[in-house]
Chain A
């Protein structure tokens, strides 16, 4: 019993924490984010496993996590509200070549982040080549270039 409850508790606590942390938290992983991720997994392991090192416990904990993930994905398919709640919504950062200052500030995205994405994905050089930039639900920034004349 406790294995399933522990795993479920950790699943929802982690989901809440990462949701509160915001998309930028783990969207683009820096070295420090990576180290943080390792430490979090270490701490999580203790919370889930305790001192029960049996194979049965491991199987139950893993099954619980995977099952919750499937259940949540089914729920997200059925309810738009749950999907928004869990995944968030995409944010337009640049519209028709115009920077949306408020959205950028709230989402903690700088001009250099948008330029970074523009160089990386589209090979663009300047801000005025960008038509749209969107902060996606996954945490990445996608850039749509203006039509080249």
Chain B
């Protein structure tokens, strides 16, 4: 077997490689910068749970506003906020594979009725006396990663609006 020739640094037999070491040091510093950017993005909410991770939309007729997570994480608690205008009983329908993609942990306040609806759910809400608007919070937990997961929300018989959530694994 060929004897490995060791490099020398002065009297020291050592496998130095100054060229490689310089490259590695540079790479380390680039890595630190990337880490900093990643963490700043995380604080902003790009990976869920931050100011940048929320998005708002409303149905074309304006009867329903939705505040939903644009970025979420799998198996991590999140929220979907509905604002239903009008002082009468209203039915909110969420289509798509909503029930399969999200675990609905709780709804506050509770709907007066809840039915399955084309892979999603249909929720009936009744406002208290004298209320012109209802705010409802759905506590959700994404069940699978999605790039993104799409669903459609709307009031019964009205046009839908699409919500899409990028779910990190």
Task: Tell me the minimal C-beta distance from B73 to chain A in angstroms.
Answer: 4
* Chain B residues with CB below 8 A from A52, complex form: 73, 75-77
Cα–Cα, bound, A66→B47 (Å): 18
B35, A54: Cβ atoms closer than 8 Å: no
Cα–Cα, bound, A56→B32 (Å): 18
- A60 contacts the other chain (Cβ, under 8 Å)? yes
- B49 contacts the other chain (Cβ, under 8 Å)? yes
Question: What count of chain A residues pass the 8 Å CB interface test?
Answer: 18
A67, B42: Cβ atoms closer than 8 Å: no
A54-85: CB near B (< 8 Å → 1, else 0) gives: 11110010011011001000000000000000
* Chain B residues with CB below 8 A from A64, complex form: 39
Q: Once A and B bind, how many residue pairs between them come within 8 Å at the CB atom?
A: 56
- B132 contacts the other chain (Cβ, under 8 Å)? no
B76, A57: Cβ atoms closer than 8 Å: yes
Given contacts A52-B76, A53-B75, A54-B75, contact A4 B42 (CB under 8 A): yes
* Chain B residues with CB below 8 A from A112, complex form: none
Task: Tell me the minimal C-beta distance from A60 to chain B in angstroms.
Answer: 5
B168, A67: Cβ atoms closer than 8 Å: no
- A51 contacts the other chain (Cβ, under 8 Å)? yes
Given contacts A66-B35, A67-B32, contact A60 B47 (CB under 8 A): yes
The 6 closest A-B pairs by CB, nearest first: A1-B50, A54-B73, A56-B168, A52-B76, A67-B35, A56-B73
Residues of B within 8 A of A (CB): 32, 35-36, 38-39, 42-45, 47-51, 73-77, 168-169
Beyond A53-B75, A56-B47, list 4 extra A-B contacts (CB 8 Å): A3-B42, A4-B43, A53-B76, A63-B35
